[in-house]
Amino acid sequence: MSDTKHTKTILLLGVGHTHAHIVRNWKHNPIPDTRLVCISNFPTTVYSGMLPGVLAGQFPLQAAQIDLQRLCDWAGAQLILGHITHRSGRNLVLADGTKVAFDVLSVGIGSIPATEGIEIAPPACLSIKPMQDFTQRLNDRLDRLRFQNRSEPIRISIIGGGMAGCEIALCLQARLSQTAREIPFELTLVHDAEEILQTESSGFRHRVRKELEQRQVRLATGHRVREISIGALHLENDRTIGNNLAILASGAAAPSLLCQLELPQDERGFLLTEESLQSTSEEPIFAVGDSGSIQKKSVPKAGVYAVRQGPLLWDNLQRLLKEDSLKKFSPQENFLKLMNFGNGSAAGVWHGISFQGAWALHLKNWIDRSFVNKYQQ
Ligand SMILES: Cc1cc2nc3c(=O)[nH]c(=O)nc-3n(C[C@H](O)[C@H](O)[C@H](O)COP(=O)(O)OP(=O)(O)OC[C@H]3O[C@@H](n4cnc5c(N)ncnc54)[C@H](O)[C@@H]3O)c2cc1C
């Protein structure tokens, strides 16, 4: 695929929290003699902060989605929907063999839930990724389980006691409790560390734990899941938990495509970058959001950082094309965290101080909607 009108091509692989910013900027400040091409495996991207609210039935999936064709058409960028198999020099290769050439590439395909060391029977398990069809896949599974298990409660385990896992557990509880009389259910949150949310402040952790307990979400902490089989979860301490469906919301792991790009990776498989977000290979390639790891720095895999990288990437793409020196990303140490409880309230933490209430959910919804609205053209 080539274009004679433009001399340079910036190629974005994946359009998520970071790359959406580049596409939006393209509308107002396109770089002369350059075209912007995006490759995505889905026609939409989902703003993860709103997915739990969708799960709780607070708003439709469309409210959390960005239509990439509309965004790209509006911005004057090209969108290619497809699956990349590998890189060949300055080309990405699509599954049908088509090559997409680039002068500068940025990789932002996010992450997937970590499953290392877990033996999985696929029918017993549901991954939170891709987020685009998560609610559809969940609904299909629940319908099937309701049909099969008419006399028994449906047992669902959420694996991962971090922010995403706890929020999903609470929002799913809110949704399932609406039909609990006809369709009983049991929810268990499984986490390998002794404490859920172990990196958060004790006040915030206490609020979330109390909410989980009050809402009858069982906690199974302190042991890793060894196997997810049909009917049961097997933990490392030989404990077994009855399970019809396990939802994987475990920590971030690298998508397998990253290792097909022939770029330096960290020990977890994410693409190693300099502080400028440029690959340590020194090729004109960036890796952003969850897909990149800045060498010798520990930046959590969180949407907040992915979003903050957008303006720096925009600047550095232009600097690289002009052969200027690149700017460095300096991640902030603290940021506001808000968790939707699914029942009309939320909890949050800011500089170690925790809080909760309906107003916290209003604040969260306002922040989330303001973000998504910018990209819903
Ligand atoms: C349920 C949930 C709630 C979360 N809530 C928060 C929160 O409140 N705050 C926070 O800071 N973080 C949160 N996170 C983490 C946050 O979602 C990620 O850190 C963030 O999405 C990373 O952004 P990204 O741009 O790297 O990737 P993403 O936003 O995930 O975008 C990646 C894009 O690439 C596409 N893609 C994937 N594979 C390919 C491929 N092979 N080819 C082409 N395209 C591909 C995907 O479809 C997607 O559109 C949450 C995560 C989950 C799962």
The runs of H, that is alpha helices, within the chain are 19-28, 51-55, 61-64, 68-75, 134-148, 163-176, 202-214, 303-321, 358-373
Please check whether residue 29 lies inside any domain of the structure: yes
Tens of pLDDT along 344-375? 999 999 999 999 999 999 999 999 999 999 99
Residue 129 CA: nearest ligand 1 atom is: 53
Query: Does ligand 1 come within 6 angstroms of the Cβ of 222?
Result: no
Distance (Å, whole) CA 86 – CA 363: 42
The pLDDT of residue 181 is 76
Sheet holding 346-350, edge to edge: 337-340, 346-350, 353-357
Please check whether residue 350 lies inside any domain of the structure: no
Please check whether residue 56 lies inside any domain of the structure: no
Residues 246 and 302 in one domain: no
Centre of ligand 1 from the C-alpha of residue 17, in Å: 7
Helix (H, G, I), strand (E, B) or coil at 216: coil
Residue 304 CA: nearest ligand 1 atom is: 11
Distance (Å, whole) CA 37 – CA 231: 45
Count of other CB atoms within 10 angstroms of residue 7: 11
Distance (Å, whole) CA 46 – CA 37: 20
Listed residues 236, 252, 268: the one ending a domain: 252
Listed residues 195, 218, 252: the one ending a domain: 252
What one-character DSSP code corresponds to residue 49?
G
Q: Given the structure tokens 């198999």, which residue do they identify?
A: 85
Separation in Å, CA 30 to CA 35, 45, 80, 320, 374 = 8, 22, 19, 15, 17
Please check whether residue 63 lies inside any domain of the structure: no
| Sign of CA pseudo-dihedral 312, 313, 318, 324 | positive
Please check whether residue 97 lies inside any domain of the structure: yes
Residues 143 and 245 in one domain: yes
Please check whether residue 210 lies inside any domain of the structure: yes
Residues 124 and 207 in one domain: yes
The pLDDT of residue 183 is 81
- Helices and strands (DSSP H and E) totals, the chain: 9, 26
Residues 101 and 144 in one domain: no
- What CATH number does the domain containing 92 carry? 3.50.50.60
Residues 124 and 224 in one domain: yes
Q: Which of 22, 290, 332, 337 to mutate to test the pocket of ligand 1 (most atoms within 8 A of CB)?
A: 290
Length in residues, the chain: 377
Query: Does ligand 1 come within 6 angstroms of the Cβ of 135?
Result: no
* Structural domain of 277: 8-41+82-111+254-322
CA end-to-end distance (rounded Å), the chain: 27
Residues 279 and 241 in one domain: no
Residue 131 CA: nearest ligand 1 atom is: 53
Please check whether residue 74 lies inside any domain of the structure: no
Residues 140 and 243 in one domain: yes
Residue 288 CA: nearest ligand 1 atom is: 26
Residues 192 and 144 in one domain: yes
Residues 121 and 151 in one domain: yes
pLDDT tens digits for the chain (377 residues)? 555 567 999 999 999 999 999 999 999 999 999 999 999 999 999 999 999 999 999 999 999 999 999 999 999 999 999 999 999 999 999 999 999 999 999 999 999 999 988 999 988 999 999 999 999 999 999 988 888 866 789 999 999 999 999 999 999 999 999 987 778 899 999 999 999 999 899 999 999 999 999 999 999 999 899 999 999 999 998 899 999 999 999 889 999 999 999 999 999 999 999 999 999 999 999 999 999 999 999 999 999 999 999 999 999 999 999 999 999 999 988 899 999 999 999 999 999 999 999 999 999 999 999 999 999 98
Residues 230 and 123 in one domain: yes
Query: Does ligand 1 come within 6 angstroms of the Cβ of 130?
Result: yes
Which token pair is 12? 């974005």
Residue 68 CA: nearest ligand 1 atom is: 49
Residues 153 and 242 in one domain: yes
Distance (Å, whole) CA 60 – CA 76: 28
Please check whether residue 352 lies inside any domain of the structure: no
Query: Does ligand 1 come within 6 angstroms of the Cβ of 289?
Result: yes
Query: Does ligand 1 come within 6 angstroms of the Cβ of 274?
Result: no
Task: For residue 130, say if its preceding peptide bond is cis, omega within 30 degrees of 0.
Answer: yes
Which residue(s) pair with 257 in the sheet?
A: none
Listed residues 224, 252, 280: the one ending a domain: 252
Query: Does ligand 1 come within 6 angstroms of the Cβ of 290?
Result: yes
Residues 233 and 185 in one domain: yes
Rounded to the nearest 5°, which phi and psi values hold at 272?
-80, 130
| Tally of structural domains, the chain | 2
